[in-house]
Structure 1
Amino acid sequence: MLRTALRNVFAHKTRLSMTVLAVMLGVAFISGTLVFSDSVVSAYRGAYTKNLKDVDVSVQAESEPASSGTEADDDRSTALTSAVVDKVRAAPGVTSVRPIVNGSVTLAAKDGRPLNAETSWENLATNYVPDTRHGGEDSRFPLRAGRGPSGGTEIALDRRTAEKAGYALGDTVRFAIDGPALSKKLVGIVDADDPRVTAGGSLALFDTKTAQQLFLQAGQVDELAIGSAPGTDNRALTHEIRELLPTSGVTVTDGARLARDQAEEIVEGTKEFTRILMVFAGIALFVGAFLIANTFTMLVAQRGRETALLRAVGASRRQVVRAVLIEAGLLGLVSSAVGFVLGLGIATVLRPLLNTSGAGLPAGPLVVSTSALVWSLVTGVGVTVLAAWLPSRNAAKVAPVEALSNVDQTPRQRSMVLRNSHGALFTTAGVLILLYVSTQKDGADDNLMAAVLGSVLTLTGMIVLAPLLSRPLVRLAGALATRLFGVSGKLAKENALRNPRRTAATASALMIGLTLITALSVAGHSMDAALKDEAVRGMTADYKVTNTAFEGLDPALGAKVAGVPGVAATASVASAGLEVDGTFTSITGADPQQLSKVADLRFSSGSLKDLASGKVLLSDKLAEQKGLSRGDTFEGMLFPDGQHRQLTVAGVYQYTRVVGDALGTMGDILPHTEGGKLDSILVKAVSGRNTGGLDQDIRQALGNSPLLQVQNQEQLAKAESDTIAVMLNMMYGLLGMAVVIAVLGVINTLAMSVIERTREIGLLRAIGLDNRGIKQMVRLESVVISLFGAVLGIGTGIFLAWACGSLARSSLTMYQTVLPWHLTGLFLLLALTVGVLAAVWPARRATRLNMLRAINAQ
């Protein structure tokens, strides 16, 4: 039987080519993801180890101080003081102590555009610490040109940033922290090993005194990098230094552990992304399983006489099953091996591709682990064997006499009844669960699990019911084909109806891909519409001023904006955290009189005039959730400082993102914000004035800071839309592999169907059907199957998106299901195109059959 299996593999290479390709693509997706993950993890660990190579022990302040934004601001948190530094210097075994000040700045390019404005975590700033042991240079940042900064008017940049921004030595570099632009002379260009910088971030260097003025207070630092004498036990030294320092506010770690910890923080995010990729890889392989099952079903049917002869000469049912599974295993092994190699190419391309979208992944070699190879091979072989098991089992059940007399076995009635019963049960259960989910407005874990379960059951039920559904839907499409194309259309319809299971299996692969893509499209466009609406709902202001680095605005900026000619009114807005009876949300602070000029709040009770110190206004959403109404008093915790306060509800308004879930006075809220900063400034233009150019006037009044952005209502809505567009495009790309495999399934089914119907095609040619009619018949059959899968997929996807979309209302109050009709039409057009293109090779093959040989074919 082993020889038989090997002979069958080599005898049907062409028929198995599409199956090989499907398994290969699915395994390539998996192996590429695993190798990519291992490579990125290794690169992060290596980068942090290299970046901290000179650090034997590290002393860090437990919480980073807030940035000041001015060069002489004493209102800073304490960090590490000079007394701590002196204690550490005096510790036995310590040979060097490098005081480090950390911060973040947004740089402007030479042409004025901001650099990395939307990825502020990459905009690093620190102090340059000359070391006499390294020729007066900072060993962390080898100089490429110039020298290190040594005064309050000087700055150094990393090489990549200088090149990207167009700066040369001697140029004036503009940057900002949380307010107006500052400028310093570029005196040095350095290399940097920090993975955040090498992956596309920026690095700005100042001398220690200037860095302290910008980010801390004089004499304070964030971190100490300690070097030890050769032969020193760094773990013991870490313990000794820990004993010298205060028990709170300070963290002491050995250098090796610090490198591991910093790498692991980012590695966890990489692993989460890997899990997402693996889900889509699983979807691609699941779709491929339909192609594999279809291939072996048709191969087993075409080899019915051969199987019957094997049974007649003594082969048992178990041996027949084993022979088919061996064939599948060999096919899966070869496909998986090639797919693994192809995956290495995917892993190589994936990192730079993600970095173009701002992922910030470090460079490094490919890491090909044994586990990635084993998982790829086991998954590919396992899926192939499992998909081939049912066809092999069905082949073994056919009696030898029956197989000798009929190649194309008709499914037994009992089998179809059982299948349809199971399909109806799954579908009904799934639909009922999803109907329940559609009534819920809370995205709690239980509801999310119910949505996932209902979606899986519904999709599974549709797959199982596909043979039953194929009859009426294919007849409907076939009737149109018959009317338009005559005999060719009628033959195409009858061929598609001949074996409903095969038609359903082929269409189901396409259905799964289109179900997921349609559901994503409907959900994405619904969220897009809701976010656009919520971004400006209740906002009558023409502009909104914010910090692109999300580090807040200096409260003094509000007066500067108000003084710009053409500005009628402004409202400074602050934001802090609020905890109410276990629910964490945010609370906005604003002057009620100013706010009334730039926002339109709809009240069910109370008004802005009722807002005063100790009182708050609540959104209808939060008030209903907590059972609060006007006049009620509750205890709330404001954070980040964690202060508890008794607050009285002065009114309830319709939720709007302008003020969020709660609104208090500026005097009550600003002291509890991070660093005492504003969240935004809302600006109303003078009535009747053309607002064109006012945004530039506001930027100029704020010093043309690269950190601050001024957006009108249209731009605010577009920013929300762009976020959804990026997410949808990424999802479409990930699901693209499943759709490609589904298309291969259509091609494979048609090609094997042509081989199976060789005699029939020969007879049709003999009675007068010309080559054009044969091609048209195959093409129309492909279109009918593709449209059947598309209709099922689009319909199921819309239903899933509608039912599960209600859960989004817990965070998007304006969420309503929006059907993107243009995309629905596009998907149907693509299905039609897939049907036409998938039929090109099978149709060409059908017309090239020798008529006499085809008639005599068995």
Structure 2
Amino acid sequence: MIRTAWRNALAHKARLAMTMLAVLLGTAFVSGTLVFTGTLSGAYTRSSEKSFTDLDVQLRSATNAGGHDTRRLLDELLLRRAAALPGAQRATGTVSGFAALADRHGKLVGQGWKTRGVGYSSPGHGRPAHGSGAPGNGASVDGGPGFSMVEGRGPVAAGEVALDVKTAERTGYRVGDSVRLSVSGPVLVGKVTGLFRTDDGNVAAGGTLTLFDTATAQRLFAAPGHYNQIDLTAAPGTTPERLKREAAKLVPHGVEAVTAAELTDEQADENTTSFRQLAQVLLGCAGIALFVGVFLIVNTFTMLIDRRTRELALLRAVGATRGQVVRAVLAEAGLVGLVAGAAGLACGVGVAAVVRAVLSAAGANLPDGPLVVGAAPVAAAPALGVGVTVLAAWAPARRAAKIPPVAALSAVHAPPGARSLAVRNTVGAVLAAIGAVLAAAASAIPGGRIALGLGAVLLMVGVLVLTPLLSRPVIAAAGPALRRFGTAGRLAGQNAVRDPRRTAATASALTIGLALVACLSVIGASANRTVKELAASNWRADYQITMANDGPLTAGTEAALRRLGEVTATSPRREVPAQVKGAEPTVVGFRASDIDRLLDMHFAEGSFAPGNTAVVDRKTADSNGWKLGDTIQVTWPDGFRSSLKLTGIYVNRLDGGVKTDISVMDPHLNRVTDNQIMVKTEGGPSERAEAALRRTLGDSPAIKVENKDEVVGGITGTVGLVLNVLYGMLVLAVVIAVLGVVNTLAMSVHERAREIGLLRAVGLDRAEVRRMIRLEAVAISLLGGVLGVLLGAFLGWALGELVASLGFDSWTLVLPWGRLVLVVGAAALVGVTAAVWPARRAARLDILAAIRTE
């Protein structure tokens, strides 16, 4: 039977070509994604390993310090004590932090969260050990990750800096140039004294690294005589784990010891996070493409088995069991999947190389390194290829095994009749009904996300099962349009519904892809409208001030803005962890005296009043039974408890929770910092006002000054970018759907060769034959397009309702009719494109040869 399967695969290789191509595309997408992410992950890991070659253990502020300021703990005393640890050869104090570098046009270079500054001590400037009796032990100050000067020298005094080579190449800065940079306060001007090469993983990921002299770095990033980290080098014979255990006995509360291996994993993980998220999206889209390919495979093997009825029956007649027939068909499918998977792996490696080259050419800073073809893509591509094809061929194989030998040999075997369709329709109706109810009710029940996901799957499966039933009324609705094309149009309509199962399987591939496109279109249009309406109804401020790295603004920023003559109102937005029974674990603070001129909180009752007061959103108030005048108990981070009088209840249109005056929370904060400041200017936004704000902030590249339109544009632009990426990824599913239509029509032309020959004999010319095949393809594609748009619009509505129920009360549903109509039009275009080759083939059939076909 294996030999039979091999011979059948070779005999029908042309008919299996589209199936192999569909599986190849899907597996290439999967393997390419795995190779690409594996390559980046390996390169970032190697880069990070090089960053920490000079240390074995690092002392740093604990990640679970609870928001307390631990900077003062890493001081000279701890450095000397660390140097004296048993097994420590050297202790090095390092200072680093956010440092925004401006290009020649004053714009920030690199991404804010990856632009860093580091303290540097040139050789000979280290500090000797203090209080260490162990020979070879030493305490010194040094400059972070390993780097080597390639031009000039390192900074040794205030006003001097050194830049990494990659940043110098991007900006055009050279030794001797003056550069502008900022941490969070005033803009600094430094002279470039040198260029250096570094293995820092952040630089490899597109960031910048600027070196300062140690005293300047301590003043900017810590405090005089203090450090951000203390790096320990283990003496020969001491393992990093042992040195870590010794250091853990030394460090005070709020400081932790971590090994170089742990630091490497953290940095590599941080740098690859965005690419891993992209990889998950890519793999999800590849999964959709493979799922779409299942319909193509099912159609192909169903049609092949129909053509080989006599052959399979003969095998049964000479002694083959049902199980052997099933295994023969599955073996044939497995061979197809294995070849397609292996080819997909090879193509995937090429795809990864091309994607990497394209991203590098587009300006993405990717680390250097060879392509890494790991075990995952090598195993995944063939396994997916074989698994998908065998799974898809299971039902046709079972159907082949049930063919009665005598009925097949006498050519009276018929396809499943009305009874099996009735069972299918019943099952489909039940699944679709359950799925629709779950999706529609997801916003009103606990665990709505799970309910929506399950409902969407059941609804989609139900619609796919029901497609044979739905195909007749949908294609019948297109009847008047088809009849305008005369005999060819009428025949196309009849051919499209001749075999409802085949039509359904062909159209279902398009249904899935276009349903997702339609759903994304609804979500994207609704998100854009919602954000714009929120900005229009909530946002009264003219400008928003934030840091480029989303970190805290320097102390005194708001005070400087309030002194500006053009400014009429300001308020920070301070969010601090606090315990409030029945509410979110954070409390947000505003300047109560100015907030009404900056935000419209849509109060249902009361207002925002200064003093020991609070306001809360309607949903939280109702769930806790709070009313105006009630007292809310708040426990602040320092453990102090406050009693706040509830003076207002607002409608949650942007964010909910408890809000109070900043004067209430500030006394309980170790450090008062602002991540966002809202500003109202006299006369509204203007070039003059913005220039005054930027001038007051020192024209700092580290600080973003955005008006309302820019804030909204940033949000909607991000949404649009994500949607465009997803649209691009779903193109693969549509391409495979096109292959399905091509394959079905091509094999259908082969099946109907005699029929087409007779039509030609009675007067249908070649142009009409081509028109008939094209119209049939358009009818099938429009069936998939209409069902996909309806399904996607419903799921988009259900998802929007869920978003609204989760606290985003202002969500506005938008049905982008123009884009949805465009999706249906694209489905028709798919039909026309897919029919080109089958129609040409049908028109070129020899009439007499076709009539003689059995």
2:95 maps to 1:101: yes
1:617-662 Cα distance to aligned partner (Å, 9 max, x none):
22223323433221122222445x56543322111123354x8533
Q: Equivalent of 1:846, from 816, 826, 842?
A: 842
Taking a change above 3 Å as real, the CA distance of residues 161 and 690 of structure 1, as seen in their structure-2 partners, is closer
Tell me the equivalent position of 1:458. Answer: 459
2:648 counterpart letter in structure 1: G
Which deviates more from structure 2 when the two are superposed, residues 560-569 or residues 830-839? 560-569
| Structure 2 counterparts to residues 743-822 of structure 1, below 5 A | 743-809=738-804, 810-822=806-818
Give the 3 Å change call, closer, same or farther, for CA 549–16 of structure 1 in structure 2. same
Asked whether the 8 Å contact 2:582–2:620 carries over to 1, the reply is: no
Q: Deviations over 1:73-119 (max 9, x none)?
A: xx984140110111122334433322111201121101211123xx3
Residues 535/550 of structure 1: CA separation in 2 closer, same or farther (3 Å cut): farther
Number of residue-to-residue matches in the alignment: 837
Q: Is the 8 A contact 1:337 1:377 kept in 2?
A: yes
Aligned match for 2:661, one of 647, 653, 665: 665
2:309 paired with 1:304: yes
Is the contact between residue 541 and residue 683 of structure 1 (CA under 8 Å) also seen in structure 2? Answer: yes
Q: Distance in 1 between matches of 2:513 and 2:681?
A: 49
Aligned to 2:138: none
**Cα distance in 1 for residues equivalent to 2:279 and 2:5:** 37
Correspondence for 1:650: 647
Question: How far does residue 741 in structure 1 lie from its aligned partner after superposition?
Answer: 1.0
83, 86, 103: which one pairs with 1:89? 83
2:230 and 2:412 mapped to 1: Cα distance?
80
1:396/1:674 CA distance change after superposition, 3 Å: farther
Deviates more, 1:514-523 or 1:596-605: 596-605
The answer to which of 145-154 and 390-399 deviates more is 390-399
2:767 partner letter: R
Distance in 1, matches of 2:175 and 2:521, equals 50
Shift of 1:547: 2.1
**Match of 1:204?**
210
Report what 2:337 is aligned to: 332
2:419 aligned residue: 414
Out of 114, 126, 132, the position equivalent to 1:122 is 114
Helix, strand or coil at the partner of 2:584: strand
Structure 1: gaps of 5 or more residues: 68-74
- Find the partner of 1:376 among 381, 391, 394: 381
Partner of 1:174: helix, strand, or coil? strand
Task: State the SS of the aligned residue for 2:372.
Answer: coil
**Residue equivalent to 1:165:** 171
- Counterpart AA for 1:333: L
Unaligned runs of 5+ in 2: 127-140
Structure 1's 333 and 600: CA in aligned 2 closer, same or farther, altered over 3 A? closer
- TM-score (norm. length: structure 1): 0.92
Which amino acid in structure 2 is aligned with residue 186 of structure 1? Answer: V
Please state if 1:183 is matched with 2:177: no
Per-residue Cα deviation, 1:759-794 (whole angstroms, up to 9, x for no partner): 111111111111110110000000000000010011
- 1:483-494 alignment runs, 5 A limit: 484-494=484-494
Paired AA for residue 250 in structure 1: V
CA deviation map 1:693-742 (0-9, x unaligned) = 32122212221111222222222211110111122112222222212111
Residues 428-467 of structure 1 correspond to what in structure 2 (within 5 A)? 428-439=433-444, 446-467=447-468
Distance 1:540 1:723 in 2: 23
Are the counterparts in 2 of residues 470 and 500 from structure 1 also a CA contact under 8 Å? yes
- The correspondence of residues 679-758 of structure 1 with structure 2, limited to 5 A, is 679-687=675-683, 691-758=686-753
From the superposition, tell whether residues 808 and 193 of structure 1 become closer, same or farther in structure 2 (CA, over 3 Å).
same
Mapped partners of 2:512, 2:152: distance in 1: 60
Q: Indicate if the aligned counterparts of 1:530 and 1:812 stay in contact, CA closer than 8 A.
A: no
Asked if the contact 1:150/1:207 (under 8 Å) is kept, the reply is yes
How far apart are 1:554 and its partner, in Å? Answer: 3.4
Show the counterpart of 1:833. Answer: 829
Structure 1 residue 221 corresponds to structure 2 residue 227: yes
Q: What is the DSSP-based 3-state SS (H/G/I as helix, E as strand, rest coil) of the residue aligned with 1:530?
A: helix
For 2:678, give the aligned amino acid.
L
Task: Name the amino acid aligned to 1:228.
Answer: A
Q: Which amino acid aligns with 1:499?
A: D
Once the two structures are TM-superposed, the CA of residue 455 in structure 1 deviates from its matched residue by 0.7
Give secondary structure in 2 for the equivalent of 1:150: coil
Tell whether the 8 Å contact from 1:66 to 1:675 is kept in structure 2 after alignment. Answer: no
Please say if 1:476 is aligned against 2:496: no
Looking at structure 1, the residues matched to 359 and 671 of structure 2 have their Cα atoms a distance apart, in angstroms, of 34
Aligned pair in 2 of structure 1 residues 857, 343: CA closer, same or farther (>3 Å)?
Answer: same
CA distance in 2: counterparts of 1:343 and 1:133, whole angstroms: 51
Q: Offset at 1:270?
A: 5.6
| Pair 547,239 (structure 1): closer, same or farther in 2 beyond 3 Å | closer
* 2:441 partner SS: helix
Q: Does 1:80 align with 2:60?
A: no
For 1:101 and 1:200, how far apart are their aligned partners in 2? Answer: 21
Partner amino acid, structure 2, of 1:805: G
Q: 1:315 and 1:66 mapped to 2: Cα distance?
A: 72
Residue identity matched to 1:848: R
Displacement after TM superposition at 1:359 (Å): 8.1
Q: In 2, Cα distance between the equivalents of 1:31 and 1:100?
A: 41
Shift of 1:318: 2.7
- 1:389-400 matches, within 5 Å, as 389-400=394-405
- Contact in 1 for aligned 2:584/2:658 (Cα 8 Å): no
**Percent identity of equivalent pairs:** 42
Contact 1:333 1:381 (C-alpha < 8 Å) held by counterparts? yes
Which of the numbers 239, 243, 246 marks the counterpart of 1:240? 246
Q: Which residue of structure 2 lines up, in the alignment, with residue 155 of structure 1?
A: 161
Matches within 5 A, 1:277-296: 277-296=282-301
Contact 1:66 1:674 in 2 (8 A): no
Question: Is 1:250–2:231 an aligned residue pair?
Answer: no
CA contact (8 A) 2:800 2:813 kept: yes
Cα pair 1:478 1:784 within 8 Å, conserved:
no
Q: Aligned partners of 1:519, 1:179: CA distance in 2, in Å?
A: 45
Identify the residue that residue 517 of structure 1 maps to in structure 2.
Answer: 517
Q: Cα deviation per residue 1:389-426 (whole Å; 9 max; x = unaligned)?
A: 21122122222343345599332222111111110110
Q: Which residue of 2 aligns with 1:131?
A: 123
Please tell me the residue identity of whatever aligns with 1:508.
S
Separation in structure 1 between the aligned mates of residue 713 and residue 665 of structure 2, nearest angstrom = 30
Question: 1:595 is matched with which residue?
Answer: 595
Following TM superposition, by how much is the alpha carbon of 1:672 offset from its aligned partner in structure 2, in angstroms?
Answer: 5.4
8 Å contact 1:107–1:175 — kept in the other structure?
yes
Cα distance in 2 for partners of 1:594, 1:583 equals 25
Give the structure 2 partner of residue 614 of structure 1: 612
Distance in 1 separating the partners of 2:316 and 2:452: 48
Distance 1:557 1:237, change over 3 A: closer
1:236-284 superposed Cα distances (whole Å, 9 cap, x missing partner): 33333433x2342222233344434544566677655544433322221
Deviations 1:570-603 (A, max 9, x none): 3444333444326435433233222233333432
| Residue in structure 2 matched with residue 495 of structure 1 by the alignment | 495
Give the distance between the partners of 2:676 and 2:300, measured in 1 at CA.
61
Match of 2:530 in 1: 530
The separation in 2 between residues aligned to 1:272 and 1:682, in whole angstroms, is: 32
Q: Specify whether residues 298 and 655 from structure 1 end up closer, same or farther in structure 2 by C-alpha distance, changes over 3 A only.
A: same
Give the drift of 1:474.
1.2
Q: 1:589 to 1:258 in 2, by over 3 A?
A: closer
Q: Which amino acid aligns with 2:348?
A: G
- Given that residues 616 and 651 in structure 1 are in contact (C-alpha distance below 8 angstroms), is that contact kept between their aligned partners in structure 2? yes
CA displacement, residues 99-143 of structure 1 (integer Å, 9 cap, x when unaligned): 111201121101211123xx3221122111323499x99681111
